[in-house]
Chains A and B, each alone.
Chain A
Amino acid sequence: MNLAFILIIAAVVALGIVVRLTVAQSLQGKRSVSLAAAVRPIDIEAFRNLINPAEDEYLRRRLPPAQFRSVRRARLRAMAAYVQAAGRNAAALVRVGESALASRDPRIAEAAQQLINHALLLRRNTTIALARIYIALAYPNSGFAALRVVDRYEQLSGSAMLLGRLQNPATVVRLSSRT
């Protein structure tokens, strides 16, 4: 009896998720892409500091174990916020890339595909990184590195910039020394 009710609740929840995702899917096709609203700025330097293993090691040596765990958890929560923001930005860029993929200009289509690939890899990395952060929250003494997220974020930005340049060549773009 209890098992039946659990399964019925699971089925109702599943149906609810299906309806919600279907509505989201149909709205997604109708909405125009609003990157400004979707993108959340990330302070990369602060992010790099947070994920720097040397800083963790320094804190471990300097602080008593209980205090270190508390500080480490606070840093992990901040790290999770950054990783979530990077993941959301990646998701927004997947949509932008998908929209540009249908372009008749092969250069734009190629840049869009590259953007999608980078965005998906970043989204994958942020998903894995978040899982690891939550595990690390339970075990603060364990080591954790999110360097790949930052690396992917840089690649993604390059792809987004390339696509933007191709789509809006009139826009003045100042390039940094690394592009």
Chain B
Amino acid sequence: MFQPHSLLWHYLWIAPCALLLVLAFLMWHRGLHKEFPAFFSYAIFEGAGGGFLYAVDVIPSVSAKVYWWSYLFFLVLEAFIKFLVIGEVFTHLLRRYPPLGKFARSLITGVGIILVFTATVIAAYASSTPFWLISGTRILARSVSVVQCGLILFILVFAAHFRLRWGRAVFGLTLGFAIVASVYLAYWALMADWLFGQKSYLLDFLNAATYHVCVLIWFYYLLIPQRSAAPSADALPEHNLELWNRELERLLQ
């Protein structure tokens, strides 16, 4: 079951790609592609690109070298699109809070610079192997994971610190990307140092299963409507107001 080219292996590679293409179609059908153009592009890219890589992997006539070059090219484009999605999520989050806009952008720029520097240092300490193409791809993936995981975590912590209210879809996108980024970081950390050797395919199952779950999270948050909150819970209770008035009077004395 947990072997390369087993039924589960094929399913975990193909199913998320197919689901993402379905998600992209449903987003387009509901007009969500205008609201989340970067994520819409990401869904199409991952669906089509993942399917292409699967074909390259299973077709016997294609060499391993071609596969790794294709994978490297895919990885570079994927990293670029993921950064666009992170930017899109952050923009959506801040849309309702203009007073924080400038401060938040300065902060995320600073965090981004620190993360890129950290990722560069980590890449510089990578161990060299004779398979430079595979090593290079894994080290690049690890560096990108460091930056993406850091940025998404920053957005989540920033929103929690300021008690910002997430839109349902935006929260779902961020949650999915946060889980993927965390698991990818651990995955690429192990892969880049060749710690699992010949058994590294076992990590592929964990990685692919996590990604599958995250695709389902995106389905849930993007396509299932939010239940409206009961308005009775929104009112400021009178005794609380009195407390505030007391504090205010003290404050303004």
Contact = CB atoms under 8 A, between A and B. Distances in A.
Q: Do A and B interact?
A: yes
B74 interface: no
B95 interface: no
A137 interface: no
A171 B250 CA distance: 18
Interface in A1-34: 1, 3-4, 7-8, 10-12, 14-15, 17-18, 21-22, 24-25, 28-29, 32-34
A103 B234 CA distance: 8
Nearest to A43: B250
B77 interface: no
A121 B98 CA distance: 10
For chain A, the bracket of interface size reads: 35 or more
B163 A94 contact: yes
B195 A4 contact: yes
Nearest to A121: B99
B132 interface: no
Interface string B210-236: 000000000000000000010101111
B241 A164 contact: yes
Given A11-B185, A18-B153, A176-B249, A35 B243 contact: yes
Nearest to A118: B99
A146 interface: no
B251 interface: yes
A89 B175 CA distance: 27
B244 A39 contact: yes
B234 A102 contact: yes
Given A4-B189, A39-B247, A176-B248, A18 B236 contact: no
A124 B162 CA distance: 8
Contacts of A98: 163, 165
Contacts of A35: 236-237, 240, 243-244
A160 B97 CA distance: 17
Nearest to B190: A4
Interface string A135-179: 000000000000000000110011011011001101101101111
B171 interface: yes
B190 A8 contact: yes
Contacts of A117: 97-99
A173 B190 CA distance: 63
A8 B186 contact: yes
B238 A14 contact: no
Interface in A110-150: 116-117, 120-121, 123-124, 127
Nearest to B228: A102
A102 B142 contact: no
A178 B250 CA distance: 12
A178 to B, nearest CB: 5
B114 interface: no
A55 B29 CA distance: 66
Contacts of A127: 161
B253 to A, nearest CB: 7
Contact of A94 (B162, B186, B238): B162
A52 interface: no
B157 A174 contact: no
Given A7-B142, A102-B231, A164-B244, A15 B251 contact: no
A21 B175 CA distance: 10
A34 B233 CA distance: 10
A17 B154 CA distance: 11
A157 B122 contact: no
13 contacts: A8-B189, A21-B160, A24-B160, A35-B240, A39-B243, A41-B250, A98-B163, A117-B97, A117-B98, A170-B238, A173-B241, A174-B245, A178-B252
Given A161-B244, A173-B245, 10 more contacts: A11-B149, A11-B185, A12-B186, A15-B183, A18-B153, A44-B250, A121-B99, A123-B163, A157-B244, A178-B252
